[in-house]
Amino acid sequence: MSHSELESAAVRLEQDVLEHYQTIRFAPIPEGTDYKDHQKNIDDELCTRQKNITH
């Protein structure tokens, strides 16, 4: 990755981490869903986004 690509990826990663925190902290847990399952779904979504940024 070039320097400019790394800079843009870093900004996107920072935004994703902030959104991830806000989602875990403030998003209501869907009815019938266990907290750990809900958090795992959110974590999986963040990991997928990060993989898309770096590839």
| Distance, C-alpha 7 to centroid of its chain | 18
Residue 52 placed within a domain: no
7: containing domain: 1-26
* 14 is a domain residue: yes
Domain count, the chain: 1
In a domain, 6, yes or no: yes
Distance of CA 29 to the CA centre of its chain: 16
- What global pTM score does this model have? 0.58
pLDDT tens digit string along 1-50? 787 888 888 888 888 888 888 888 888 888 998 989 988 988 888 888 77
Helix (H, G, I), strand (E, B) or coil at 54: helix
Q: Does 34 map to a domain?
A: no
Q: What pLDDT does residue 54 have?
A: 63
Q: What is the pLDDT of residue 34?
A: 92
Residue-level pLDDT at 32? 92
Residue 8 resides in a domain: yes
Asked, for residue 13, whether it belongs to a domain, the answer is yes
